[in-house]
Amino acid sequence: MLQEEKLEALSMAGKPKLHYFNGRGRMESIRWLLAAAGVEFEELFETREEFERLIQGGTLMYEQVPIVQIDGMNLVETRAILRYPAAKYNLYGRNLQEQAWIDMYVEGLRDLSDMIMFFPLSLPGEKEMNLEYILEKATTRFFPVYEKEFKARISYIPTIHKFLQPGSQRKPPLDEVSTETVKNIFKFERGMFLKNMGTIVAEY
Ligand SMILES: N[C@@H](CCC(=O)N[C@@H](CS)C(=O)NCC(=O)O)C(=O)O
């Protein structure tokens, strides 16, 4: 091994490993959280074959990603993953009340981000209707909360400011090509049915 390769391997050794496809999806909030905590992370972008290998190797508790390998654990379930570094790096409130507020913001944001995440998988005939629904809920229900509480403050936090700069590990929204990649990895063959604030009640 070359000296630089050894150094690279050493610096990667302690970093959390994130396994997901190369896009936002459920991993993006985890990327944001680690970035905000100032924690460097390594990303492994799954193909269908790698995803199946993880399943067969017994690494994925529910045969689903995201998975984050951190501190000797194979952490799955997005919100369980988020809570771990949040608590570890003191970003999960100073008391139970603060934790409850954080949970409320996180759960609301999840309702909104689930709708946005599944939007590219809408059936062609339902795209326009879904977009209208998401925009209406975003602008009247969710954005006012986040604008009031966070807008001005957040982007000034140095770690977040850095993550917002071009070239960071922040992902772009799905385009047509990456949507096809995701469909192939997770075998989404038809549309997803969105109802009631992004809850998927059926896959068809
Ligand atoms: N509740 C889980 C849901 C995970 C999930 O639905 N993952 C999708 C990719 S975003 C997946 O692995 N789908 C493949 C499958 O279920 O077979 C979480 O929040 O992490």
> Which tens digit of pLDDT belongs to each residue from 65-79?
999 999 999 999 999
Mutate to test the pocket of ligand 1, among 26, 81, 171, 182 (most ligand atoms within 8 A of CB): 26
Question: What was the pLDDT predicted at 122?
Answer: 84
- What is residue 4's predicted lDDT score, i.e. its pLDDT? 65
Q: Mean pLDDT throughout 156-182?
A: 91
Check pLDDT > 80 for residue 13. Answer: no
- Ligand 1 pocket test, pick from 65, 78, 178, 183 with the greatest ligand atom count within 8 Å of Cβ, gives 65
Q: Give me the domains of the chain, ranges plus CATH numbers.
A: 15-203 (3.40.30.10)
Q: What's the confidence (pLDDT) of residue 197?
A: 45
Residues 71-128 pLDDT 10s: 999 999 999 999 999 999 999 999 999 999 999 999 999 999 988 988 888 888 888 9
Q: What pLDDT is stored for residue 64 in this prediction?
A: 94
Could you tell me what percent of the chain has a pLDDT over 90?
A: 64
Q: Whose CA is nearest to atom 13 of ligand 1?
A: 64
Q: Does ligand 1 lie within 6 Å of residue 85's CB atom? A: no
CA distances from 70 to 6, 26, 150, 180, 203 (A): 21, 17, 29, 30, 32
